[in-house]
Chains A and B, each alone.
Chain A
Amino acid sequence: MTDAAVTVERLQKTLGKKEVLHGISFIAGKGEIFGLLGPNGAGKTTTLRLICTLLAPDAGSINVLGFDTRTAPSEVRRRVGVVTAEIGVYPRLTARENIAYFARLSEVIDGDVRPRVEAVLDRLDMREFAGQRAESLSSGQKQKVAIARAIVHDPAVLMFDEPTSNLDVLASKEIRDFMVESKNRGKSVIFSTHVLHDAERLCDRVTIIHEGRVVATGSTAEVRGAHRDLEQSFLNLVQVS
């Protein structure tokens, strides 16, 4: 494995009365696509929210590119971009305005906002609808806006939380291609999904979480082991655990 981009150690979190994470640990390396896998309710989204400092851990620690999420949350946020399944955009702003707003809030200096936004529009092939209000965009176009605002400040770590769950086949493929492209640009990509087939195609290494516990971790090939695919491996692991 390459150097660590994100290190999670013995992470525990309780939400309300439910203990969601029971001391999970894993490392996502620099320049790789790391899969955080598991069924719905396994604790994947909570883990990602802890990494990006939206939530605070009850116990354990998270380190992102040398910064602890407890002691340096702003430094972590500057280095992380997150794309979620819920494509929330500001409906009365145009696609371009949505992206520029997040660029400014992410501390891109004023003179750089426009070139950065235009570069992202080109990279994601968004020129055609950049001037349209977000309320008139399709789901796929909105997802592109969501990706654009997550990468406009050029973060070193990108996290995707079930990014294809609301998209059609073509839009999903574009997201997968984008993750690969980001990896090729040297970014660290954390891909959270319950679609094990997607993970198997894209991820260099994976960690499988079940009921808030890590049940397997390693390279995709290692976790698959002797099974036909990751899904079979996962089913086997869940039965054992």
Chain B
Amino acid sequence: MRAAWIVYRKELVEILRDRRTLIAIGFSALATPIVLSIVTQVSTRTATQVYTLGYTGTIPTGLDLLLTSTGLKLERVDDPAAAAKRQVDLAVAFLPGEIDEYYDPTRQSAQIADVRLQVILGNYNAAKAAAALHAKGVDPAILTPLKVVPHPLSSPAAAAQNTFLSFFLPYILITMILTGGFSAALDSSAGERERKTLESLLLTPAPRSRVLLGKIAAVTTISLVAAIAAIASMFIALSQVSLPSEAGISSHLAINPVAVPVMVMVALLIAVSFSSVTLALGTLARTFRQGQAYVTPLYFITIFPASIILFIPDFNPGLAYYLIPILNAVLVLREAIVHNAVDWAALGVTTFSLVATGLISWLAALRLFTREALLTRS
């Protein structure tokens, strides 16, 4: 194993002196807080934004107060249909016993204003009906024959926190592992051929399997460093965001204790297996650029299904789905974050899948690394 250690140390030194890799790691550390900051600002702005409601006719008594207190600014218009296209976000015509609503569904502001208007009108109608019933001596409870009493099993704040983490954490972790080691893996494989050092390296008595092992270990290390940098910066950024809790005491986003070891294990498995995959593809390439052409599609093929799943919160797949690399990592991680529990069968299949992927790739890389064509084709 001495040869593997020698190669590992040398690769790390070279990688850490490579501007491309340092930029990738630095970018991953900076990008996460920046993205989160933008997302938070956009969300806050969307929630507090005042939208303009154009109207004609006479506003029912009391409704104007309700509308303005819910972030809808009233503005009298001549033609509500025309005004709803550009002049205002939403327009209504108050007619006797009816409200005609005009809005353009392609405008996000119109959609949000419409939701607010519907909520207010629902409450207004319910209050009016209740008052009318009360005036006639009828219990307004007749309007709600089945009263729903909610008993949430976790606090709304915790639920929101888990939803947020289950969306961002797997995505950031996996993206940074795949992209963090990307440049290092190609430099370590295709780069050897491009700068004509491969022949000298293979001339040494060091077994090729050990040389490859050293390279994979170095790329894995860098992938994990990039992922840790991204996750750490994410938590630092989130620690600045206060969340309201039931008792009125603010809290910060925190990952549950079960998710931490699962995250570490999944990160390690992905880093090792995909370092092998990238090195195998890089070994096929004669230049760094050619390596990029081979590896980039792989990135999209693996990350795409995982990204889609993130948008389906209640996706409960069978065990067979856990055989798909990356997708399985996202599912296992999400389970641990949202439910604070480990599905051992799913984790077992995921581990098998990622280990098998890494092993097959390692054998492929070794086979490529020992082919005579590696030298003669260049």
A interface list, Cβ under 8 A from B: 15-16, 49, 52, 54-56, 74, 77-78, 80, 82, 84, 86-93, 97, 101-102, 104-107, 133, 146, 149-150
Contact = CB atoms under 8 A, between A and B. Distances in A.
19 contacts: A15-B372, A15-B376, A54-B202, A74-B205, A77-B203, A77-B204, A77-B205, A82-B200, A84-B200, A90-B197, A93-B13, A93-B14, A102-B200, A104-B6, A105-B3, A105-B6, A106-B204, A107-B205, A149-B200
B285 to A, nearest CB: 16
Given A77-B205, A89-B195, 19 more contacts: A15-B376, A54-B203, A55-B376, A56-B372, A74-B205, A77-B203, A80-B203, A84-B200, A86-B196, A88-B196, A88-B199, A91-B195, A92-B14, A93-B13, A97-B10, A97-B13, A105-B206, A106-B205, A146-B200
Interface in B161-211: 195-206
Q: Main secondary structure on chain B at its contact with chain A?
A: helix
Interface residues of B, number: 23
Contacts of A92: 13-14, 17-18
B195 to A, nearest CB: 5
Nearest to A133: B17
Contacts, number: 70
Interface string B241-271: 0000000000000000000000000000000
Interface string B359-374: 0000000000000100
A82 B203 contact: yes
A55 B375 contact: yes
A74 B204 CA distance: 8
Nearest to A159: B203
A88 B198 contact: yes
Contacts of A88: 195-200
B278 to A, nearest CB: 20
Interface centre among A104, A107, A146 (most CB of B within 10 A): A104
Contacts of A15: 372, 376
Contacts of A80: 203
Contacts of B372: 15, 54-56
B10 A101 contact: yes
Contacts of A133: 17
Nearest to B13: A93
Nearest to B201: A105
Given A89-B197, A92-B14, A93-B14, A105 B204 contact: yes
Contacts of A78: 205
Nearest to B7: A105
Interface in B1-31: 3, 6-7, 10, 13-14, 17-18
Contacts of A107: 205
Interface centre among B13, B196, B203, B204 (most CB of A within 10 A): B203
Contacts of A55: 372, 375-376
A56 B203 CA distance: 13
Please provide the 4 A-B residue pairs with the shortest distance between their CB atoms, ordered closest to farther.
Answer: A88-B196, A88-B197, A105-B204, A92-B17
Interface string B323-364: 000000000000000000000000000000000000000000
B18 A102 contact: no
Nearest to B196: A88
A92 B7 CA distance: 14
B204 A102 contact: yes
A39 B203 CA distance: 25
Contacts of B375: 49, 54-55
